[in-house]
Amino acid sequence: MNENPPLKVTDLRKDFPGRKGIGTVHAVSQISFEVRPGEIVGFIGHNGAGKTTTIKCALGLLKPSGGRVSLWGLPPASAAARKRIGYVPENPDYERTFTPMEYMTMFASMRGLDGDEKDWTALLERVGLKGWERTAIRQFSKGMQQRMSLALALQSKPELLVMDEPTGGLDPVARKEFRDIILEENRRGAGIFLSSHILSEVETVCHRAVMLSRGMLIAQGSMDELLGSERTFRLTAENDSGDSVELEVPESALQAKIDKAREKGLKITRVEQKMKTLEEVYIAVSGGGKA
């Protein structure tokens, strides 16, 4: 394990006061994982699983009740760490009287970045906001605000991109554009920490995934580890009276099952590979995944 990975979470715990101040809500309990340089890690869980809470602890917006979070070995609120990350919040909101170009210019100044309006125009065009640079944000849709937050996150060419449900509410075309940008940034060398409950997206883009349910870590690993490296097949067999039976069989047992079916006088009508999805894995591991 890398000693100072871009993001390291160790035994993180976050509690909140219960309703009307009675009791305690354990939003996140004893979770540990890390994001290594240059990898894309998916952070998945049902609504209320603790994803946003974990991300906010990682960015210093929430103070952990226990455990530790570090960015390159530094505390989350440290200036040195914050300079190296880009953040795309869930449901972003911005001052409505401002324009994207004003935000880009001010953020660049606050971050001490070189660059001029031409650079920011190109970046806004890259995220799909060409022609909207000087339009007040009050006229933007939710999707357009999300594009703007992506542009602000990418402005400093961050080493780690933290994205909290960046494509929630976007149309399929916009989601693909976001995915393409994520992959481009990863090719540039950035690590990506992507929280989402669109599991098909995580499956397509991520190298590894961390699964949360009810504030607890239930599984983590590479896509191969989570989906299983051994393939599964669906075997359909028919008897003489036309009744059919379907079986799911791992690859290692496939031939033995076919032989046994034939011994019993069954006719093999179909053998097809069954693709296991991350969604199936999550539901199986989380036991339904209810908050």
Partner 1 sequence: MRTVFTFSLMTLRMLFRRRTLWGILLVILLGLGGIASVPTFDVSNQGRFILDFGLFGIEVGALLLALGLAASLYPRDRETKTIMPLLAVPLSRGQYLMGRFFGAALVQAAALLVSCLGLMLILLFNGLPIPGNLLPATLLILVEGWFLLSTVFFFSFFASPPLNWPLTTMLFIVSQMSVAEFIGLMPSSPGLMRTLRLLLPHADVFHIKDPIAHGFEIEPLYFVVAVFYGLCYSAFMLSLALAVFRGRDLK
Partner 2 sequence: MRASLLFAAALLAISGCVEDYDVAEVAPGEHLDEEHHHEEGDYCEECHDDHDHDHAHADEEGVHHSGDATPSGHSHDAGVRNHGTQWFFNQPWAARFIWGKLARDGAMFLLLAGIIFFLSGRRRRR
Minimum separation from the CB atom of position 161 to partner 2 (A): 25
Of the pair 61, 254, the CB lying nearest partner 1 is at 61
Contact 167, 174 (CB under 8 A): yes
The residues facing 247 across adjacent strands are 235
109 contact, one of partner 1, partner 2, none, CB 5-8 Å limit per kind: partner 1
Of the pair 74, 219, the CB lying nearest partner 2 is at 74
The four Cα atoms 268, 273, 277, 283 give a dihedral, to 10 degrees, of 20
Helices (H), the chain: 51-58, 79-82, 100-111, 117-126, 142-154, 172-188, 199-205, 223-227, 251-263, 278-286
Distance CA 225, CA 244 (A): 33
Which 214-253 residues touch partner 1, going by CB under 8 A? none
Under rule CB under 8 A, residue 80 binds partner 2:
no
Distance CA 196, CA 146 (A): 14
Tokens coding 1: 């394990």
**Which of 109, 255, 269, 277 is close enough to bind partner 1 by CB under 8 A?**
109
Distance CA 54, CA 34 (A): 12
Of the pair 79, 173, the CB lying nearest partner 2 is at 79
Of the pair 93, 171, the CB lying nearest partner 1 is at 93
Contacts of 106 (CB under 8 A, 6+ apart): none
Listed ranges 86-94, 118-126, 212-220, 229-237: which one lies at the site for partner 1 (CB under 8 A): 86-94
Under rule CB under 8 A, residue 78 binds partner 2:
yes
Minimum separation from the CB atom of position 61 to partner 1 (A): 4
Which 28-67 residues touch partner 2, going by CB under 8 A? 63
Residue corresponding to tokens 């379907």: 246
50 alpha-carbon distance from chain centroid? 13
Under rule CB under 8 A, residue 10 binds partner 2:
no
Contact 217, 31 (CB under 8 A): yes
* Coil vs helix vs strand at 13: strand
Under rule CB under 8 A, residue 232 binds partner 2:
no
Under rule CB under 8 A, residue 87 binds partner 1:
yes
Tokens coding 117: 């309006």
Of the pair 54, 220, the CB lying nearest partner 1 is at 54
75 contact, one of partner 2, partner 1, none, CB 5-8 Å limit per kind: partner 2
Which 152-211 residues touch partner 1, going by CB under 8 A? 152-153, 156, 162
* Coil vs helix vs strand at 216: strand
In the DSSP assignment, the letter for residue 236 is E
Minimum separation from the CB atom of position 77 to partner 2 (A): 6
Of the pair 128, 158, the CB lying nearest partner 1 is at 158
Minimum separation from the CB atom of position 83 to partner 1 (A): 8
Distance CA 157, CA 81 (A): 14
- The type of residue at 109 is S
Integer-rounded Cα Rg, in Å, for the chain is 23
Residues forming the site for partner 2 (CB under 8 A):
63, 75, 77-78
Residues forming the site for partner 1 (CB under 8 A):
16, 56, 59-63, 77, 79, 82, 85-87, 89, 91-95, 97-98, 102, 106-107, 109-112, 149, 152-153, 156, 162
